[in-house]
Every structure is written in structure tokens, then in C-alpha cells.
Amino acid sequence: MKKPTIPQKDPYKVKVEKDKTYFWCVCGLTQKQPICDGSHSKP
């Protein structure tokens, strides 16, 4: 697995849509923090 990047240390302001499911990235590999893009499962 790749080495994770350190996401920002400040709060995130996120616009969300009603009835849409979002996944919060906890691995630090996603390219668009803080929402998971599945990078953790890519080789």
C-alpha cells in the first residue's frame, strides 16, 4: 500500500446533497480529501 498523505489539520467545509451517501476517508490516500475515492483499494 502507498504511504498516506497528511490531510489538512483544520476542519473541512463540505457541501452535501440530500439523500446521497458519502464516505469519509480515514486512510489518507484519497486525492480529494475528505471524501473517499477508493484509493485504498488500488494497487
Instruction: Tell me which of 2-6, 11-15, 35-39 is least confident.
Output: 2-6
Query: In this structure, what are the phi and psi dihedrals at residue 16, rounded to the nearest 5 degrees?
Result: -125, 160
Cα 14 to Cα 17, 19, 31, 33: the distances in Å are: 10, 15, 15, 10
pLDDT tens digits for range 8-34: 889 989 999 999 999 998 888 888 889
Whether this model's pTM surpasses 0.85: no
pLDDT of residue 1: 65
